[in-house]
Amino acid sequence: MKIICPKSDLLHGVNIVSKAVPSRTTMAILECILIDASDASTKDEIKLTANDMELGIETRIEGTIVERGSIALDAKIFSEIVRKLPDNDVTIETDESFKTVITCEKAKFNIIGKSGEDFSYLPYIERNQPIILSQFTLKEVIRQTIFSISDSDSNKLMTGELFEIKENELKVVSLDGHRISIRNIELKEVYEDHKVVVPGKTLQEVSKILPGDSNELVEMFFTDNHIVFEFDRTTVVSRLIEGEYFKIEQMLSSDYETKIKINKRELLDCIDRATLLVKEGDKKPIIMNVTEENMELKINSFIGSMNEDIDIQKEGKDIMIGFNPKFFIDALRVIDEEEVVLYMVNPKAPCFIKDDDEKFIYLILPVNFNAATN
């Protein structure tokens, strides 16, 4: 194999597929990036692929194919070499014994690769009706929900997000046992119903490589076991998480005893200031004492205490309730509205942050602040 391509294109492609290279594996071939220039049906298109058997990414770059073939190169070494090459055309040449020569201007590297035929190609996924949305929308909906997945493998379903399609609506749900994040997106077409759980790791990597252009589109395909994302010249294939997702409908009550309209930035900044007094690992709650036109926020920790008042519009009963401040900060940071509305029932029931159309719903469980402040 012999190919020539611009360093910038090669580096861009390597950066994309590297996100599917496993950090630890017993299969050495999976630590490689496959460079594939063997397809005679494409004139000057070179495919780069990485695959950890759960997540696979393939992207295509343009280049000159002098001699067709493929080679699998150690991802860490190869990406470091490419990153540090001069900004010019890069030539990659291999022989039958998988010796690989990488040259750029006066720089020349000799490394040993592995047979491209031994590489685990991405599984073939039959693509039926694509679900289409903008890159910007997908990137945003991941950003607005991914923070409330669980980072513990004790319950696999909590490490993923529910993608549920009904007619022309996409609902994305994440939860970790203490909070729930829901975003409802209106699609431009009506689709068949689908309900799948996508690994959080997959969504995080997709979000990183999505350019996020509002005018460019992403096509999503679902099967029983996989989800496929296609955008620009990149394909991401991921296994789904098996199992029935949690039934959250019964938790989403519309009943409330207290309704609070508050400036989002003021509330976010206030809670953010309060966390200055909380060391990492401390479980000190922020206490909200809601009276007629005022919310007093206070926090007590081993470092000190803080309290601050915020003007509000309130309907219903006064309430004093405590929360993990991080959970409120995470939700408020991804809400774009200037004002938010909080719905509360009592100090032991969840608080809801949601808009009138329920395009977003954030549910946060309270904490027992009496025990925490004594």
Per-residue model confidence as pLDDT tens digits over 281-315: 778 899 999 999 999 999 998 899 999 999 999 99
Q: What angle do CA 284, 286, 289 make, to 5 degrees?
A: 140
Q: Residue 109: its pLDDT value, please?
A: 98
Largest CA distance in the chain: 80
* CATH superfamily, domain at 252-373: DNA Polymerase III, subunit A, domain 2 (3.10.150.10)
Q: Residue 76: its pLDDT value, please?
A: 96
pLDDT value at 374 more than 70: no
pLDDT value at 128 more than 90: no
Cα–Cα nearest to 85, from 33, 1, 34, 10? 10
Q: Residue 327: its pLDDT value, please?
A: 96
281: left (phi over 0), alpha (psi -120 to 50) or beta: left
pLDDT band at 42 (very low <50, low <70, confident <90, very high): confident
In the chain, CATH 3.10.150.10 covers 2-118, 131-249, 252-373
pLDDT band at 23 (very low <50, low <70, confident <90, very high): confident
pLDDT value at 77 more than 90: yes
Q: Residue 164: its pLDDT value, please?
A: 97
pLDDT value at 371 more than 50: no
Q: Domain 2-118 belongs to what topology?
A: DNA Polymerase III; Chain A, domain 2 (3.10.150)
Burial class (CB in 10 A: 0-12, 13-18, 19+), 57: buried
**Which pTM does this prediction carry?**
0.92
pLDDT value at 75 more than 60: yes
What are the distances in angstroms from CA 305 to CA 277, 326, 372? 7, 17, 13
pLDDT mean across residues, the chain: 94
Average pLDDT over residues 3-13: 97
pLDDT value at 373 more than 60: no
Spatial contact of 260 and 313, defined as CB atoms under 8 Å apart: yes
Spatial contact of 253 and 363, defined as CB atoms under 8 Å apart: no
Q: Domain 131-249 belongs to what topology?
A: DNA Polymerase III; Chain A, domain 2 (3.10.150)
